[in-house]
Structure 1
Amino acid sequence: MSLFLSLYQTYKQNSSQVGERKLNRFEKEYTLIPVGHTTQTAHIEVLVTEDGEFYSAEIIPKGNGNTLIPATEKSSSRSGSLVAPYPLHDKLSYVAGDYVKYGGVIKKEEPYSAYIAQLEEWVSSPYNHWMVNSIFKYLKKGRLIEDLVNEKKLHLDSEGKLITSWDKKYEELFEGKPDIFSVVAGGQEGAFIRFNVHSPTKVLSKVWQSKEVFDSFTSFYNQSLGDEDLCYVSSEWIPKTNRHANKIRNAGDKAKLISDNDKSGFTYRGRFRESDQVATIGYDVSQKAHNALKWLINRQAKIVDGRVFLVWGNQVPEVPDPTSDSFDIYEEWDESPEEPIQVANTHQNYATEVKKALSGYMNRLKELDTNEQINILVLDSATTGRLAVLYYRNIQKELYINGLINWHSRCKWRHSYRKTKDGNRIQFTGAPSTKDIAFATYGPNANEKVVKGLMERLLPCIVDEHPIPSDIVRSAIQRASNPVALENWEWEKTLSIACALINSKEDYDMAVDNNNDDRSYLFGRLLAVADVLERNVLDSNGEKRATNATRYMNSFANRPERTWKTIQAALQPYLAKLGKGATRYTIIIDEISSKFNVDDFNNRPLTGKFLLGLSSQRHDMYQKKEKVEQNEGGNEL
């Protein structure tokens, strides 16, 4: 219950945001939903006058139909043939009194009768709202479909019945395909209608955005709730509920976190006779906890193949994301007055800057004088009806931030695979994102189920400072050791990420370590010299083919002594072409070779450290080459 308590507290701490419509980083709208409400995608908007007369209607374009609507416990979880009307906005079969007249099929109870009776209870209560009353006056006339047909928003066939699905045979009746068939997935009978009130003299808020209407329904519905019971979340005696929210990840999500409707299955059979014997949760608590979760997911979660990765604080929801790379963490959380790191600068140490930004974030939390807790949650569903908590941690902010600082300090290397919106390459030193680690480990075409699984496995490594699982590191090393199987950009990205994973255990300096006599590291340096030497000659001749060092790298990792002989022999023509310029390379090769112990120069397979030596030596040589070129061009070194 600690998860629901944290969500309940989050809702209460952010109650000022209830009903506020905002945009997330993807320009998608989200709202902290009021108690007793839910969201639906509306297809038609109907305007009525203050006196309850039809005014106009319009088809809502795709993407603009997300609507906040009042909902009862029963309507929020309705399915199949169950008649459970929403209190105000609903499907055509519920809100249109002339639905049967125009060909609508009713299986059991008439939805309109149940809908209009429920709406009448609201407008007859002390909590009614005048705009809801105007809508009720109009709908009670039972002529909605007639008005929508006259307005050319709904369309009839030759027999005067609603067209259930569009067919080419109807083209002769209309000029083109009517808009309604482009926004409704099924037939017109499935259209969801939202209502608004028009006034020629007043500036009115939209009904589905009015806090007064929200409060009106919440107050009306609260007085109809059942008996009180002990809430296992809040420890208070309040009206309970046995129906809990769905639509947690998106408007079409049917999976629930809490469900007790499987009375004939194995949900609680054999242990309890009634679901209330397991636990009871108050209606208000369930609503606020679920609505807070929806709000947080739409606001800041990352979702991979339906799996939700969410991190938040109860009082300050914005929290650094453990799945992000160092560049994103710095860009989002640095608020120093100093000039920020410029993208044009090469290999800025974002890992160091992340420490400063996260330390500043923790200091701001301390200034708020709060006992802020950080929540880490992973959700996914095995079926369409059940949502499971795969991972949940409630952790002190200091421990969480220190875990992030440690991760970005140790799992770091030079990276150059990111680009700005303008296409400029971003070079940064820091930790890669967990999603990039997944693609480096399993390839860019990896199944999303595999990707989300790896991202989940890395969370304890980041938050609790656990070592990275050896199979992840091993797989990344194997892919980085086989460049001929990858495109060049993919190999460079895989190499830098593999080095970051290796470095999380070794903590090597990214500069060339001339004092390191580890055989794998030294062999990696030798391979780098051979690669740079041949690459320079090939580039000067305009050849784009792979170097021998790249082609033989996989064999080199498994049989270094034998493969180095082959590579070194293949270098002789390139050394001859370079002439005096070859001296630089031979000196470096001799210097590295002299550091080997005689017994270490053998065919024993290399460890991942050879990638660290390879990457550091390549970077060092290319950096020196750039400085030489600048000097020859008359620029200062």
Structure 2
Amino acid sequence: MSWLLNLYETYEANIEHVGKVNKKRNGQEYTLLPIAHTTQTAHIQVNITEEGEFHSAFVIDKSDGNTLIPCTEGSSSRAGSKIAPYPLHDKLNYVAGDFIAYGGKIKKEEPFSYYIKNLSDWANSPYATNKVKSIYSYLNKKRLVRDLLEERILGLDENGELIEKWQPKYDSLYEQKPAIFSVIPGDQSSAFIRFNVHSPMKILKNVWSDQQMYESFIQYYRERLGESDLCFVTGKHVPSTDRHANKIRHAGDKAKLISANDTSGFTFRGRFHHSEEVASIGYDVSQKAHNALKWLIQHQGKVMDQRVFLVWQNNSEAVPDPLDDPFAMNVSTIKKEGFTNKEFAREVAKALDGYRNDLTMGGKADVNILILDSATTGRMAVLYYRYMNKELYLNRLKSWYSSCIWHHRYRKDENNQYIEFIGAPSPKDIALAAYGTKVNEKIVKGLVERILPCIIDDKKIPVDIVRSAIQRASNPVSMERWEWEKTISVTCALVNKEEGYEVSLDRNNHNRDYLFGRLLAIADVLERQALGKEETRATNAIRYMNSFSKHPARTWKTIQDALQPYQAKLGAKSLYLSSLIDEVASQIQFDDFNNKSLSGKYLLGFYSQRHDLYQKKVKDEETKAVTN
């Protein structure tokens, strides 16, 4: 229950955000919902005067349809033929008293009678606002469909009945297709109606964004809740509920985190007589916790193939996301001469210090990490949850960002140019390196879930992930050049996490695998120089890389024999690289020069040596330009 309690506390700490509309980058709106409220996509807006008369109506643009509406426990979970009206805004067959008069189809009972009874109770309660009374006064006249027909929003067939679905045969009845069919694909009875109150003398807040309307329904509905019970989240005796919210990840999400309505299955049968015996949760607590979760997911959650990864503090202050790389934290990645891991660790520490500013304030400074996913359309589960001290969390991030690092060149700047940086790859980049860019999204989200404990709990990276990345990085001919360059740098970061090597070339490292990697890099650079910039084909070193990783001694002979024509072509220009080959090869012990397969360390030697040679070439060209 700790995750529910922390979500509940998050809601209480951010109470000032309730009802305030925020916008995501794609323009989609979201808000921290009041309790006893949900959101629906409205299709038609009906404006009512303060005297309870019809004023106007129009079809709502799809971009403006998201509407915050009051809801009861029953209406929030209604399905199929079950009649459970929303308290105010609802579908046409619920809110229109003349729906049947115009040929509207109903299954058993008339939904309007239930709807208008509930609205009457609210409108006649001491908590009702004038807006509620105005809307009730109009709807009680039972003429909504008639008014919408006069506004040419709805359409009738040749028999004077509501058209269920628009067909070409109705073109002869109308000069222009009724507006409602531009926003709904099927039956007009499914059109969702929202109501607003219009005044020619003053500016009124929209009903769905009016704080007084929220409070009016909340106070009215609280009196209608059941008896108090012990809430297992807060430990208080409060009105409880066994109907919990859905629409957690998005508006169409039917999966619930808590469900106790399965009286015929094996949810609690055989161990308990009633669901309340398992656990009881207060209505307010459930509403606030679920609404806080929805808000946080929209605000800062990451969603991969419906799996949610969420990190937050109860006071909603920003914390770095473990799924990001240091680039997202504005860690300085400017390359320096002789750049070391320690220097980068200092850069990471400086970036994280900005998140430590509340640790001395005396309050709670803790971080929640939550992963959610659903196996079916109706059930959702918490796959991973950690609640940890913020200082420990930041230290774990520092450890990851400072150890799982390498030199990368796969990000682009605002000019769409590749930029070089040193840092840790994001978990998603690790997934793509291990399994390729065309991998199924389900595999990506599964790997990200496995990497998260490596960051948060300081666990070792699973061996199969590292092995898969090494195998792909050792097979450059199987992918495009840009993808291989990214794969090899990410793989080097994974190997480096376990080995603790420096990013820069270590000339004193006499490890067999590291030296073999250096040899391969020198051969690659030498042949590339001989081929020139115009020739883009892969070098022999790259072509034989996969074989080299499995049989280094035998494959090296093949690569070195193939180098001779290029050494002859370069002439004196190849002396430095040729002598470097001799120097590195001489450092390999006689017994180590064999065909035992190479570990991932050879990639570190390959990458560092190649980068060092290219850096030397750039410096030589700059020196030559200055001299001339």
Q: Give the secondary structure class of the aligned counterpart of 1:634.
A: helix
Which residue of 391, 400, 424 corresponds with 2:417? Answer: 424
1:295 aligns with 2:295: yes
Query: 8 Å contact 2:231–2:240 — kept in the other structure?
Result: yes
Within 5 A, what are the aligned runs for 1:555-574?
555-574=547-566
Which residue of 351, 376, 379 corresponds with 1:383? Answer: 376
Provide the rounded CA distance (Å) in 2 between the counterparts of 1:260 and 1:67: 28
Query: 8 Å contact 2:43–2:59 — kept in the other structure?
Result: yes
Query: 8 Å contact 2:239–2:282 — kept in the other structure?
Result: yes
Question: Residue 93 of structure 1 corresponds to which residue in structure 2?
Answer: 93
Cα 1:96–1:426 shift into 2, 3 Å: farther
1:599 aligns with 2:591: yes
Question: Residue 248 of structure 2 corresponds to which residue in structure 1?
Answer: 248
Letter in 1 for 2:395: N
1:359 aligns with 2:353: yes
CA shift digits 1:154-188 (9 cap, x unpaired)? 22222222222233333344456554334224322
Q: 1:45, CA displacement in angstroms?
A: 1.5
Provide the rounded CA distance (Å) in 1 between the counterparts of 2:471 and 2:211: 58
CA shift digits 1:529-586 (9 cap, x unpaired)? 111122222234x111111111110000000111111111111111111111111211
1:369 aligns with 2:323: no
Letter in 1 for 2:614: Y
Letter in 2 for 1:142: K
Provide the rounded CA distance (Å) in 1 between the counterparts of 2:448 and 2:111: 46
Letter in 1 for 2:268: Y
Letter in 2 for 1:482: N
Q: 1:226, CA displacement in angstroms?
A: 0.9
Q: Give the secondary structure class of the aligned counterpart of 2:434.
A: helix
Q: 1:32, CA displacement in angstroms?
A: 0.7
Q: Give the secondary structure class of the aligned counterpart of 1:376.
A: strand
Ranges in structure 1 where 5+ consecutive residues have no aligned partner:
332-339
Kindly tell me the number of residue pairs found equivalent between the two proteins. 626
Provide the rounded CA distance (Å) in 2 between the counterparts of 1:270 and 1:635: 89
Provide the rounded CA distance (Å) in 1 between the counterparts of 2:537 and 2:565: 16
Question: Residue 304 of structure 1 corresponds to which residue in structure 2?
Answer: 304
Query: 8 Å contact 2:152–2:179 — kept in the other structure?
Result: no
Q: 1:591, CA displacement in angstroms?
A: 1.4
Cα 1:177–1:187 shift into 2, 3 Å: same
Provide the rounded CA distance (Å) in 2 between the counterparts of 1:28 and 1:433: 26
1:202 aligns with 2:202: yes
Letter in 1 for 2:94: Y
Provide the rounded CA distance (Å) in 1 between the counterparts of 2:496 and 2:335: 24
Provide the rounded CA distance (Å) in 1 between the counterparts of 2:338 and 2:149: 64
Letter in 1 for 2:67: T
Provide the rounded CA distance (Å) in 2 between the counterparts of 1:615 and 1:177: 65
1:464 aligns with 2:457: yes
Query: 8 Å contact 1:36–1:218 — kept in the other structure?
Result: yes
Q: 1:221, CA displacement in angstroms?
A: 0.4
Query: 8 Å contact 1:51–1:134 — kept in the other structure?
Result: yes
Query: 8 Å contact 1:558–1:605 — kept in the other structure?
Result: yes
Deviates more, 1:250-259 or 1:92-101: 92-101
Provide the rounded CA distance (Å) in 2 between the counterparts of 1:585 and 1:53: 90
Q: Give the secondary structure class of the aligned counterpart of 2:471.
A: helix
Deviates more, 1:486-495 or 1:529-538: 529-538
Query: 8 Å contact 1:326–1:351 — kept in the other structure?
Result: no
CA shift digits 1:374-427 (9 cap, x unpaired)? 111101000111010111111111111111110101101111111234312232
Query: 8 Å contact 1:247–1:255 — kept in the other structure?
Result: yes
Question: Residue 337 of structure 1 corresponds to which residue in structure 2?
Answer: none
Provide the rounded CA distance (Å) in 2 between the counterparts of 1:347 and 1:212: 60
TM-score (norm 2): 0.96
Provide the rounded CA distance (Å) in 1 between the counterparts of 2:334 and 2:157: 64
Question: Residue 567 of structure 2 corresponds to which residue in structure 1?
Answer: 575
Within 5 A, what are the aligned runs for 1:226-265?
226-265=226-265
Provide the rounded CA distance (Å) in 2 between the counterparts of 1:28 and 1:382: 26
Within 5 A, what are the aligned runs for 1:38-437?
38-174=38-174, 178-330=178-330, 352-362=346-356, 364-437=357-430
Query: 8 Å contact 1:346–1:427 — kept in the other structure?
Result: no
Q: Give the secondary structure class of the aligned counterpart of 1:365.
A: coil
CA shift digits 1:77-101 (9 cap, x unpaired)? 1111110000011111111112112
Cα 1:343–1:309 shift into 2, 3 Å: farther
Query: 8 Å contact 2:318–2:355 — kept in the other structure?
Result: no
Q: 1:341, CA displacement in angstroms?
A: 6.6
Provide the rounded CA distance (Å) in 2 between the counterparts of 1:351 and 1:490: 27
Cα 1:255–1:236 shift into 2, 3 Å: same
TM-score (norm 1): 0.95
Provide the rounded CA distance (Å) in 2 between the counterparts of 1:572 and 1:146: 91
Cα 1:449–1:145 shift into 2, 3 Å: same
Q: Give the secondary structure class of the aligned counterpart of 1:496.
A: helix
Deviates more, 1:426-435 or 1:235-244: 426-435
Q: Give the secondary structure class of the aligned counterpart of 1:633.
A: helix
Letter in 2 for 1:238: V
Letter in 1 for 2:495: I
Q: 1:370, CA displacement in angstroms?
A: 1.4
Letter in 2 for 1:546: A
Letter in 2 for 1:374: V
Letter in 1 for 2:615: Q
Q: 1:523, CA displacement in angstroms?
A: 0.8
CA shift digits 1:200-220 (9 cap, x unpaired)? 121111110111100111011
Provide the rounded CA distance (Å) in 2 between the counterparts of 1:12 and 1:60: 33
Q: 1:460, CA displacement in angstroms?
A: 0.9
Query: 8 Å contact 1:226–1:240 — kept in the other structure?
Result: yes
Cα 1:114–1:28 shift into 2, 3 Å: same
Provide the rounded CA distance (Å) in 2 between the counterparts of 1:401 and 1:247: 32
Which residue of 488, 493, 497 corresponds with 1:495? Answer: 488
Letter in 1 for 2:403: R
Cα 1:222–1:347 shift into 2, 3 Å: farther
Question: Residue 336 of structure 1 corresponds to which residue in structure 2?
Answer: none
Question: Residue 623 of structure 1 corresponds to which residue in structure 2?
Answer: 615
4+ residue segments displaced more than 4 Å: 174-179, 340-352
Within 5 A, what are the aligned runs for 1:25-40?
25-40=25-40
Q: Give the secondary structure class of the aligned counterpart of 2:221.
A: helix
1:512 aligns with 2:505: yes
Deviates more, 1:483-492 or 1:622-631: 622-631
Cα 1:26–1:351 shift into 2, 3 Å: farther
Provide the rounded CA distance (Å) in 2 between the counterparts of 1:6 and 1:20: 21
Query: 8 Å contact 1:303–1:309 — kept in the other structure?
Result: yes
Cα 1:603–1:141 shift into 2, 3 Å: same
Query: 8 Å contact 1:326–1:350 — kept in the other structure?
Result: no
Q: Give the secondary structure class of the aligned counterpart of 2:525.
A: helix
CA shift digits 1:440-478 (9 cap, x unpaired)? 111111111111111111111000100000000000000
Provide the rounded CA distance (Å) in 2 between the counterparts of 1:2 and 1:422: 46
Q: Give the secondary structure class of the aligned counterpart of 1:629.
A: helix
Letter in 2 for 1:66: N
Cα 1:22–1:321 shift into 2, 3 Å: same
Ranges in structure 2 where 5+ consecutive residues have no aligned partner:
none
Instruction: Give the CA RMSD over aligned residues.
Output: 2.0
Query: 8 Å contact 1:351–1:412 — kept in the other structure?
Result: no
Q: Give the secondary structure class of the aligned counterpart of 2:354.
A: helix
Provide the rounded CA distance (Å) in 1 between the counterparts of 2:369 and 2:85: 36
Q: 1:131, CA displacement in angstroms?
A: 1.3
Provide the rounded CA distance (Å) in 2 between the counterparts of 1:605 and 1:396: 43
Provide the rounded CA distance (Å) in 1 between the counterparts of 2:220 and 2:328: 46
Cα 1:283–1:181 shift into 2, 3 Å: same
Letter in 2 for 1:397: K
